[in-house]
Amino acid sequence: MKTYLEAIKSRRSIYSIEKSSPIPDARIVELVQQAVLHTPSSFNMQGSRAVVLFGKHHDRLWSIVLETLRDKVPKAQFAQTKKKIQSFADGYGTVLFFDDTAVTNRYGEKFALYKENFPVWAQQSNGILQYNVWNLLEDAGLGATIQHYNPLIDKAVRREWDLPESWLLIAQMPFGAPAGEPGEKLFQPVEERMCVFS
């Protein structure tokens, strides 16, 4: 088990993944459940939602993405798009991340002074959830990336898995056993990105 700092440093976008996993499905589900339970949210509203797709459900998601993009991407570019989508479909599973807007809106009504902030805070909490899941999967030996084919696929995803209308799709995280190394990670000087006053 890595230290928290080691996990942060080693987490990378792994685009080349395989349809296998070093850990059982039940363990993947447990890791996502623990992240959902323990990720903080403003006012403890707990509006983040996650859906884990394995097997034919994972395959179906990326089929939906591909068919949706077929009508949107110019024909000359579609072969490259298809190759990219196939790299995600080649993975073992996908975690879908949502915000339950019914919860977010309810808190906005309850605390009207901060109403405009609740959608922002919901996105922030969801980002923390995504990062927590990503680090947990990486620490377990899985490679993953964050993808954003929403809002193009939102309606089809809700319909396919009979999800509530209030669930707003935020991101998709395909994962699987790493089949290659990540690219070089370049850093801007931290001194340009951070200030310290003491």
Give the CATH superfamily of 4-192: NADH Oxidase (3.40.109.10)
Identify whether the C-beta of residue 147 lies closer than 8 Å to the C-beta of residue 81. no
pLDDT digits (tens, 9 = 90+) for 62-71: 999 999 999 9
pLDDT digits (tens, 9 = 90+) for 84-141: 999 999 999 999 999 999 999 999 999 999 999 999 999 999 999 999 999 999 999 9
Identify whether the C-beta of residue 100 lies closer than 8 Å to the C-beta of residue 28. no
DSSP helix, strand, coil percent of the chain (3-state; round to 5): 50, 15, 30
Reading the block at residue 197, the tokens are: 């006053």
User: Is residue 29 predicted with pLDDT exceeding 90?
Assistant: yes
Q: Which of 95, 91, 92 is nearest to 33 (CA)?
A: 95
Any idea where the domains of the chain sit in the sequence? 4-192
d(CA 100, CA 76): 37
